[in-house]
Amino acid sequence: MGLPHANKPHACKQFGSSPQPVYASWPNRAVGKFWERLHAHQGKHASIAARVNSLYTHPIKSCRAVKVEKAEVMSTGLKYDRQFTFAELQNPEGKPNSAFSGSTGWHFVTQRKYGRLANIHLEIWVPDPESPDYSPDQPNVLSDGVLRVRYPDLKCDSRKPELKIFDIPYCPTEDQVLALGFTMEQLTVWKDRPNALLIASTTHTSPPEWIKDIQAYIGCSKPFALFRVATGHNRQVFRNAPRKQQLGYQSVTGFADAYPLHILGLSSVADLDRKLVSVMPELTESTALRFRANIYFEGPAAFAEDTWKRIRIGQSIYYVACRTTRCELPNTDQRTGKKHLSQPSKLMRSYRNIDPGAGVSKACLGMQMVPAAEWGIIKVGDEIEVLETGAHHYILQ
C-alpha cells in the first residue's frame, strides 16, 4: 500500500523536475526571449517555426505536474502521464441517487471538486544502472521505478507546512501486487468503468496514514482511495479519434479525460492573459499551467492550432483529433490550489465558443491528439511541422 521512503529510492535517479512557470513572472516585468519574440510576432503567422517549448507529464491525475526535457510517447500519451488517480466511493450505502448513472462504486476525483490536489507534489524516479545499489532484481528496478508523493503536513503550524513523503512502485510486478496487498476494483472514469489496481483505501482495515492524511487535506468526507491503471485495462478512445483501420491500433488512454495527448500554443495563452488582466488584476504570471497540457509550443500566432489536423513533431506524426473543451478546472491556481469564482472560464466563454459540436457553454483552448505510432520520442526544441489543416467538429461524450 506504499513503500517506506528513504532519502533517495534505491537504484534510481530522478526523472524530470517540479514545474516552473512556462514563461516567467508575466506581466510584472520583462520576461525573456520568448516574450520578446511573442510581442514582435504576435498576429503574424508568416514564417515562424513552431517548436516544443516545454513538456509536462501528470503521473497522478489532477496533482502537480512533472516537467521533463524529453519523453517517451506511448499509445496512451506521454509515459507516466495520468497513470494514477485518486477516487472517492459514491453512495457507499447503496441508496438511490439520481446524481450519477450507476452511482455506487469508486469514481475518480479531480481539481474540479478538490482544488487542493494541486498541492500534491510528485517526483518520478527511474532505474539507474549507474547507481551503486543497482541490480536487475532490485524491487525498484523490477517496478520500472518509483513514484514519490509529497503532500502538506496538516499537523504543521507553519503557513508553509512541511511536506510528508511516501513512495509507490510505478508499475508493480504480479509478485509485488500480491505482496503489497493491491487488488483489482472497478473504477468509474466519466462513462467508462475499467478495472483498475487499488493501491490504498480508507476502507481497508488498516489503511496507510498517507491515504487518510490526503483525504483530510483535500477535504474529502467520503471513503477515499488511490488507483493505478491496470495492465491491459486502458480505456479505448473513439469519438473524434482516428480509427484502428487508419492507425493500425485502437487509440487508448489511461486516466486522462478523453484523449492521449494535449497540445497548447503559448501565443494562445498569451492572448487570453492579455485580456485576463483587466478582470484579474491580481494575476502575476501566465495561466499556461492551469490548462495542464502535455506539450506547450511557441512560434505561430495565437490559435494557429485551431485548424491543425495532422502534424509532425520531431520524427513522429500525430493526429490532431479535436479541440479541447474547457471546464472550470483552469480557475484553480496551480501554485496554491485556490479557485477563482469565475475566471478565466468566464472570459474564455466570451470569445472562445468556436466549435459547433461543443455547445454554446463550452469554450475551447488547445487541441487533443493521438499518436500515429504506439511508441516515439518527443523533446523540448523539436520543430512542429503542420502536415494537414481543416475544420473540427467536437463530438460530445
pLDDT, tens digit only, all 397 positions of the chain: 555 455 899 999 999 987 765 543 333 333 334 445 444 545 444 447 899 999 999 999 999 999 999 999 999 999 999 999 999 999 766 554 444 444 579 999 999 999 999 999 999 999 999 999 999 999 999 999 999 999 999 876 567 778 999 999 999 999 999 999 999 999 999 999 999 999 999 999 999 999 999 999 999 999 999 999 999 999 999 999 999 999 999 999 999 999 999 999 999 999 999 999 999 998 988 999 999 999 999 999 999 999 999 999 999 999 999 999 999 999 999 999 999 999 999 999 999 999 999 988 899 999 999 999 999 999 999 999 999 999 999 999 8
Interacting residues of 55 by C-beta distance below 8 A, sequence separation 6+: 67, 68, 69, 70, 71, 78, 294, 295, 296, 378, 379, 380
Q: What share of the chain is helix, strand, coil (3-state, %, to 5)?
A: 15, 30, 50
Quickly count: other Cβ atoms within 10 Å of residue 349's Cβ.
15
pLDDT digits 0-9 by tens, 56-89: 999 999 999 999 999 999 999 999 999 999 999 9
pLDDT at 66: 98
Length of the chain: 397
pLDDT digits 0-9 by tens, 234-275: 999 999 999 999 999 999 999 999 999 999 999 999 999 999
Q: Distance (Å, rounded) from C-alpha 117 to C-alpha 93?
A: 26
- List b or e across 256-273, with b for residues whose CB sees 16 or more CB atoms inside 10 angstroms: bbbbbbbbbbbbbbbbbb
Interacting residues of 274 by C-beta distance below 8 A, sequence separation 6+: none
Q: Distance (Å, rounded) from C-alpha 282 to C-alpha 327?
A: 22
Grid cell, residue 46, equals 508568416
pLDDT at 92: 67
pLDDT at 91: 78
pLDDT at 21: 53
Nearest Cα neighbor of 124 from 227, 20, 230, 18 is 18
Strand, helix or coil at 183?
strand
pLDDT digits 0-9 by tens, 118-140: 999 999 999 999 999 999 999 99
Grid cell, residue 328, equals 472550470
Grid cell, residue 199, equals 493501491
Left if phi > 0, otherwise alpha if psi is -120 to 50, otherwise beta: which for 43? left
pLDDT at 200: 98
Looking only at the bridges linking them, the beta strands covering 316-325 and 50-57 are unpaired
pLDDT at 354: 96
Say if residue 83 is exposed, middle or buried (CB neighbours under 10 Å; 0-12, 13-18, 19+): buried
The pTM (predicted TM-score) of the whole model is 0.91
